[in-house]
Structure formats: C-alpha cells, structure tokens
Amino acid sequence: MPDQIMIEVSYALPRKQIIIPIRVPKDINVKQAIEKSGIQKKFPDIDLTKNLVGIFGKQTSLDHTLRDRDRIEIYRPLIADPKEIRRKRAAEGKQMKKGS
C-alpha cells in the first residue's frame, strides 16, 4: 500500500517491554501513531503531556511526521537522577577515604 508506512511503537517498564508494529497513513505524526497503536490501553500510566518521546533514541516532538520503519519510543520519567546518584557516590567515597 503506497499511501501507508510501517512503524513501531515501544514502551518499557523495568521488567516488561512491548513493541507494537502497525501500518499507518504516510502523513501521520507521533501522537496520532501512539493513539492508533492502542498502547495507552495496555499502559494507562502513559501520559503524553508528561512522557517524553523519541525515534530511535533521539527525542522528538509529538507533532513530528513519521517515516517508514520509524520506531517511536515512549520514555518513562526517571525514578532517580543519574547525576545526583553519581554525586552521592563520589561524596560517600571521599568520606570513606577520610575516615579510613
């Protein structure tokens, strides 16, 4: 079908990941494709006003027009900030060296 493209919509939790392949119209955007995939019914915690999205690991906007074979990734909010965790570990390491 020349007026359609094939894409995937993906979402991952710590112990579960889902990738939904779907055929969509050529001029569809990220938000429309996510809604068409039905992934929000399987994961009601997905909130497109809060969750960031990307295509193949690069953040994008909900109004970005898709191309054939794109994979939309819906990102979860981080539970902890990786930079803050590294800072805490570094501070703990300094305290341990001083106290040794």
Q: Which helix (H) or strand (E) holds 98?
A: helix 82-99
Is 4-99 in CATH node 3.10.20.30?
yes
Q: What average pLDDT does the chain have?
A: 89
Read off the pLDDT band of 1 (50, 70, 90).
low
Mean pLDDT to the nearest integer, 47-76:
96
Read off the pLDDT band of 96 (50, 70, 90).
low
With tokens 């779907």, the residue in question is 22
DSSP letter, residue 64:
P
Closest CA to 76 of 17, 8, 24, 5: 17
Read off the pLDDT band of 59 (50, 70, 90).
very high
DSSP letter, residue 66:
P
